[in-house]
Structure 1
């Protein structure tokens, strides 16, 4: 792969290799439950890296570049799968045969059909509760909500999928492939469980309560997007964090976060032994190893603090 950037420090082959491997892996599995053939993943990853390189005039650092490339990869892969399923009229196409969480995919296009007067009324919705209910009841059981109470919360969470927002959209309309519905509904179920516990306890300041679903979705300035490409619906990916906090950190801070916590291509002591790395991040090259480490950790903690603050808004 030729270097698409005119960055004075250049782009190493190791950097390109790591970006390529990460994008190819994401293209193969853009969402849990989807598995693409190797050749298709290769095509998507190559195009995503090319598009990402066109987004920057100069190389912004491995972290910001990879976050952009991964976001482009996941989007292109999901859209490609949706298009192929539509063309072949097969909602199960490219579904991971090893995924045993539920029996089969439903037709997302039918689930997303909305009539101006009747709303979401396609018969495909009749097959949705058997898919989502066992997963939701498992989530609720871990929170101590069982029996009729769990059924009540599940029914509320199911209605939330079709609830119209102020912008005219609805959670079900935000999806590109059916597999995205599983983590989306898990998140909604979790927030509805919070609302249920608040109502039952009548304690508005429970330390484990957090934000309610309504508060998170109705605020037009800070509405959460409940998309998650990982199996753990509470785990944020680097590209999601970068996308939501992009303006809060400098390119150097993103590069530092990526080097320490994402790429992990070298131990900390090796990074601190690299004078170019130290100079780039304002760490004194003549300082002792312990001083370098303190300066590095201080800069990393400052950057992490900005990310935490952004997610608390």
Structure 2
């Protein structure tokens, strides 16, 4: 059985942190190229512990950081099962206390018995864990998606994760509302590409949550680890299991407009639900019905944890 990696290497870099009003203005203009209705403004963060979001903390404030752990090269071409981490350590890696941690990753296969998706949603305060994290796996019998909530005692993740970490305090955030997708890009890509176009090589990172209020979304759930090498994006796509999942879906994750030399995954969101479905978000599949409500914070820095020494770009969609 693999042991959790203690004291992995951590690299930190400051990110470009423009004022929220500026980012709101940039997104207000850029997102109109992909959605018929766009409303972006700076607002006090609503209580995210309440429905529909049901997150572990009320807000996104307090030393906001992006934290990327491991990476896809630990999953493909073949899995490296020794890459196992304890998310109770995220606060110490990012120097944030208490630590509200949300995001997308690979779930703890030693707990699940198989490879699985992970929708991280927890608070670690004074060593105590309030864990609302969910995992989603493929049922080997009928191929369906099975979602479950992890107990407070299960705080491990495997292989890779893209996390937002902050103290979870109330404060000002970006509220992004988009309706009726008219372009080819998904909600996350639309935001990232808009920021990239405006800020060029300045790395601006956002973390937070969004709700697909109406419609459906293409999402994948990883099956158990492949026994044959996955050497291309086509190999990865054929291995994954895709589902058309119904709203409402609550997504958590991160995006960054540019990689500041840390081999980052530039966007990664997973969603969970209260109707038993969850997975890796790709795009809405009913564009006319698509209705997104998102709350995001601008990250001050990024922490790169256990960066793979041998890397590639396969499987990063």
TM-score, normalising length: structure 1? 0.22
Greater relative contact order structure (CA < 8 Å, 6+ sep): 2
TM-score, normalising length: structure 2? 0.22
* Structure with bigger gyration radius: 1
Q: Which has the higher strand share?
A: 2
